[in-house]
Structure formats: structure tokens, C-alpha cells
């Protein structure tokens, strides 16, 4: 534990170092986090505003890189569906509600053994969150699914498209979305694509870097304000 005293600034070690050593011997404390926090506070007392900002920014970036590289990759498979005639966004919302019922999604989860560590209700929610339907033109919609396993992701996309086509055949969709219009013909313009990495890890890591910098600025401002109050 005594080696952690070296993390304190030199001026502090010179004044309190031997006392702290004696305290650690007497108390037998093993609270490393408390010492680390104390050392950080003492270091920051003498650091300039920009030094705090830089160190916090670097720490934020380091944490982000570690977090990004410890996370599994996510893959995405996308298909394009065409309707004849063109349909509104409400049509796709209704179609998705009809197609992706809890029973239907639960069957996909079981069949593909998705989210094996999660409870069943949670698995369905996570599967639902992985699905995206975006209308890219009045008669075109992009249906995509993202997951950690590249093989499963394409098969699940295929299953989801199958559910949408089946739901389109039921009259309830037509009735619920556009009562006066005739039913839409739905065709697969592009079958589920090969799995693509959804987000580059370095891209993900670069995102929290500005947040680390922002944290550094806020912390530096707080410390500067505290120092001003202490002086008065």
C-alpha cells in the first residue's frame, strides 16, 4: 500500500509522506481506492486548468478505447422491400405490429438461439430493438437487423422478411392502415445482405473522447471555483 504514496505530488510527500506511511502501518488499511482518490485530489490542486482538461480527455479516450475493444462486434443484414402501389409510413408500422408479435419473435429467438443469457421477455425486447424499418422511397422500405453473430443475423433477417410478407397477406393490415385503398403487393427487391460490421470500433471509441474533454473542462472549472472559495 505504501507505494501508492508515490502517486501524491512531491510537495505533499515531502510534508506528509512519512506521516502517511506511519498511518498505513498503524491502521493496516488496505483501502487502495481511498489513497488513489486522495492522490488524484492532491495532484489536481497544483495542476493548471488545461492540464486537468488534457488528462481527463486522455483518460476518457483511454476508457472509451478499452470499452470499445471489450465490446463484441455487431453485424447488420439489410433487405429492401417494394410495395405496389406506394404506401405510407403508417402502413409499415401496422405491418410490423402484425408481423412481429411476441409469439412470432419468441419463435425466432428459440429457433436461432439468440440472447441465450437473457430471460425470455428480455430476449424479445432486445430482438425488437435490433430491428429497423426505414422507408427510403414512397414504395421502398429498408428492413435491417443487427446482432453479434454474423451467421444468425442474416438468417434472422430472412425470417423477419418472411413474417412481414405473411402479415401483408392478411386482410387486417389493409383494413387497419388504408381502408379505402386496395391491398399492397409486397416484393423482395433485395434479399437480406451479407452481414456487415455495424460500427467500426475505433469510430465508437472516438465518440466519448469529446465527452472526456467536456468532463475535464467541467472538473477544472469546479476545482478552480473551489480553490477561489478556499482562498477567501
Q: How far is the CB of 230 from another protein (least distance, A)?
A: 7
Shortest Å, Cβ 43 to another protein: 12
Least distance from another protein to the Cβ atom of residue 219, Å: 16
Out of 6, 10, 22, 69, the only residue in the binding site for another protein (CB under 8 A) is 22
Cβ pair 201, 69 in contact under 8 A = yes
Exposure string for 61-71, b = 16+ CB within 10 A, e = fewer:
beebbeebeee
32 vs 66 by CB, closer to another protein: 32
Min separation Cβ 21 and another protein, Å:
7
Nearer to another protein, 17 or 162 (CB): 17
Comparing CB distances to another protein, the nearer of 18 and 101 is 18
Choose, by CB under 8 A, the member of 6, 10, 14, 37 that binds another protein: 37
Residues in region 173-232 near another protein by CB under 8 A: 230
Q: Determine how many CB atoms are found less than 10 A away from the CB of residue 184.
A: 20
| Distance in Å, CB of 6 to another protein, minimum | 13
The count of chain residues that interact with another protein, using the rule CB under 8 A, is 23
Q: How far is the CB of 59 from another protein (least distance, A)?
A: 19
**Spatial CA neighbour of 143 closest among 84, 181, 113, 187:** 187
Q: Is 113 left (phi over 0), alpha (psi -120 to 50) or beta?
A: left
Q: Specify the 3-state DSSP secondary structure of 29.
A: coil
Pairing type for strands 140-147 and 75-84 reads antiparallel
Cell of 135: 422507408
**Closer residue to another protein, CB minimum distance, 38 or 150:** 38
* DSSP per-residue codes, 30-84: --HHHHHHHHHHHHHHHS-HHHHHHHHHHHHHHHHHHHHHHSPP-EEEEEEEEEE
Interacting residues with another protein (CB under 8 A): 12, 16, 18-24, 26-27, 29, 31, 33-39, 41-42, 230
Amino acid at each position: 500500500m505504501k507505494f501508492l504514496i508515490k502517486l501524491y505530488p512531491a510537495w505533499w510527500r515531502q510534508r506528509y509522506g512519512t506521516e502517511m506511511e506511519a498511518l498505513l502501518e498503524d491502521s493496516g488499511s488496505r483501502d487502495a481506492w481511498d489513497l488513489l482518490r486522495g492522490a488524484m485530489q492532491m495532484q489536481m490542486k497544483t495542476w493548471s486548468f488545461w492540464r486537468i482538461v488534457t488528462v481527463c480527455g486522455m483518460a476518457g479516450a483511454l476508457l472509451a478505447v478499452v470499452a470499445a475493444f471489450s465490446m463484441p462486434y455487431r453485424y447488420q443484414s439489410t433487405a429492401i422491400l417494394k410495395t405496389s402501389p406506394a404506401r405510407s409510413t403508417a402502413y409499415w408500422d401496422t405491418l410490423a405490429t402484425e408481423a412481429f408479435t411476441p409469439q412470432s419473435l419468441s419463435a425466432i429467438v428459440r429457433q436461432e438461439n439468440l440472447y441465450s443469457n437473457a430471460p425470455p421477455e428480455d430476449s424479445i425486447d432486445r430482438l425488437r430493438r435490433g430491428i429497423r424499418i426505414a422507408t427510403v422511397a414512397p414504395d421502398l422500405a429498408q428492413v435491417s437487423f443487427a446482432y453479434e453473430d454474423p451467421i444468425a443475423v442474416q438468417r434472422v433477417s430472412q425470417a423477419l422478411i418472411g413474417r412481414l410478407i405473411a402479415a401483408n397477406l392478411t386482410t387486417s393490415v389493409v383494413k387497419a392502415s388504408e381502408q379505402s385503398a386496395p391491398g399492397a403487393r409486397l416484393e423482395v427487391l433485395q434479399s437480406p445482405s451479407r452481414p456487415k460490421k455495424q460500427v467500426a470500433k475505433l469510430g465508437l471509441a472516438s465518440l466519448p473522447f469529446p465527452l472526456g474533454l467536456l468532463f475535464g473542462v467541467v472538473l477544472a472549472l469546479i476545482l478552480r471555483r473551489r480553490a477561489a472559495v478556499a482562498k477567501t
